[in-house]
Structure 1
Amino acid sequence: MTKKSTKAPAKKPAAAKAPKRGAAEATAGRGGKVAKTQLVEQVAEKSGLTKKQAAQGVDAAMDTIVEALRQGQSVGLPGLGTLSVRDTAARTGVRPGTSERIQIPAGKKVAFKVAQTLKGELKQRSPDYHVLLAD
Structure 2
Amino acid sequence: MTKKNTKAPAKKPAATKSAASAAPKKAAAAEKIGKTQMVDMIADRAGLTKKQSEEVVSVMLESIVEAVRSGKSVGLPGLGTLSVRETAARTGVRPGTSEKIQIAAGKKLAFKAATTLKGTL
TM range (shorter): 0.7 to 0.9
SS in 1 for 2:98: coil
- Runs of 5+ consecutive residues of structure 1 not aligned to the other structure: 1-6, 13-28, 123-135
Runs of 4+ in 1 over 3 A off after TM superposition: 7-12
SS in 1 for 2:96: coil
Higher relative CO (CA 8 A, sep ≥ 6), structure 1 or 2? 2
Q: Aligned residue for 1:41?
A: 40
SS in 2 for 1:30: helix
Q: Aligned residue for 2:104?
A: 105
- Report the alpha carbon displacement of residue 72 of structure 1 after superposing the two structures with TM: 0.6
Q: Which aligned pairs between 1:73-112 and structure 2 lie closer than 5 A? A: 73-112=72-111
Could you tell me the TM-score, scaled by structure 1's length? 0.68
How many percent of aligned residue pairs carry the same amino acid? 62
Measured in 2, the distance between the counterparts of 1:94 and 1:109 equals 20
Measured in 1, the distance between the counterparts of 2:113 and 2:55 equals 26
Cα deviation 1:55-82 (Å, max 9, x = unaligned):
1111100110010001110000001111
Measured in 1, the distance between the counterparts of 2:105 and 2:6 equals 50
**Cα pair distance change 1:121/1:100, threshold 3 Å:** same
- Report the alpha carbon displacement of residue 10 of structure 1 after superposing the two structures with TM: 5.1
Q: Count the aligned residue pairs.
A: 102
- Runs of 5+ consecutive residues of structure 2 not aligned to the other structure: 10-26
- Report the alpha carbon displacement of residue 97 of structure 1 after superposing the two structures with TM: 2.8
Measured in 1, the distance between the counterparts of 2:117 and 2:96 equals 40
Measured in 1, the distance between the counterparts of 2:64 and 2:7 equals 47
**Cα pair distance change 1:55/1:98, threshold 3 Å:** same
- Report the alpha carbon displacement of residue 113 of structure 1 after superposing the two structures with TM: 0.9
Q: Which aligned pairs between 1:52-91 and structure 2 lie closer than 5 A? A: 52-91=51-90
RMSD: 2.4
Q: Aligned residue for 1:115?
A: 114
